[in-house]
């Protein structure tokens, strides 16, 4: 009977050690999509599942107070000359989804798409073009 209790005690100890050593997945804290939460500087890191070509960039800065943006990029520039555009943005909710839309200054017109903003964290966010679910853009906050 002594051996039985020793075996049970060892099994309990092993079970306690194993259960304590399991690492839990970190909980991701998603933020509500507001001008305050996207305010700051972001860089595009992935477009439709592919990383940007080396040397290419698109950086966008959002100002929450007046809902303006400044975008600097060389994706559509000739000879790697950067291009800067400015404008206004708005965030609205449609059918439970947060949508960002923008308008360029100087009669540049509207952005090519409105975007569903998802998976917004303190350091990352994803945009999916409304009506084009394969047009997915992933951004990281610049430090």
Examine residue 27 and state whether it is found in any structural domain, yes or no: no
Is the Cβ–Cβ distance between 51 and 45 less than 8 Å?
A: yes
Give the CATH number, domain containing residue 60: 2.40.128.280
pLDDT for position 60: 97
Q: Is 8 helix (H, G, I), strand (E, B) or coil?
A: helix
Examine residue 10 and state whether it is found in any structural domain, yes or no: no
Give the total number of structural domains in the chain.
Answer: 1
Examine residue 84 and state whether it is found in any structural domain, yes or no: yes
Q: Which is nearest to 127 in space by CA: 31, 47, 55? A: 47
Examine residue 136 and state whether it is found in any structural domain, yes or no: yes
Q: How many CB atoms lie within 10 A of CB 33?
A: 20
Q: Which residue has the tokens 């500087």?
A: 41
Examine residue 30 and state whether it is found in any structural domain, yes or no: no
pLDDT for position 24: 76
pLDDT for position 92: 96
pLDDT for position 6: 61
Q: What is the mean pLDDT of each run of 10 residues along the chain (143 residues)?
A: 55 56 76 97 95 92 97 81 92 95 90 96 97 97 91
Examine residue 23 and state whether it is found in any structural domain, yes or no: no
- Domain of residue 59, residue span: 35-141
The secondary element (H helix, E strand) that includes residue 102 is: strand 97-104
Examine residue 66 and state whether it is found in any structural domain, yes or no: yes
């Amino acid at each position: 009977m002594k051996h039985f209790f020793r075996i049970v005690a060892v099994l309990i100890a092993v079970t306690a050690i194993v259960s304590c050593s399991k690492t839990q997945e970190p909980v991701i804290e998603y933020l509500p999509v507001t001008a305050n939460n996207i305010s700051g500087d972001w860089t595009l890191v992935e477009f439709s599942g592919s990383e940007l070509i080396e040397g290419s960039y698109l950086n966008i800065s959002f100002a929450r107070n007046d809902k303006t943006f400044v975008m600097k990029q060389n994706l559509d520039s000739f000879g790697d000359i950067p291009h800067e555009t400015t404008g206004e943005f708005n965030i609205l909710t449609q059918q439970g989804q947060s949508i960002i839309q923008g308008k360029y200054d100087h009669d540049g017109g509207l952005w090519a798409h409105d975007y569903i903003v998802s998976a917004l964290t303190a350091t990352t966010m994803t945009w999916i073009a409304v009506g084009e679910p394969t047009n997915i853009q992933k951004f990281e906050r610049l430090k």
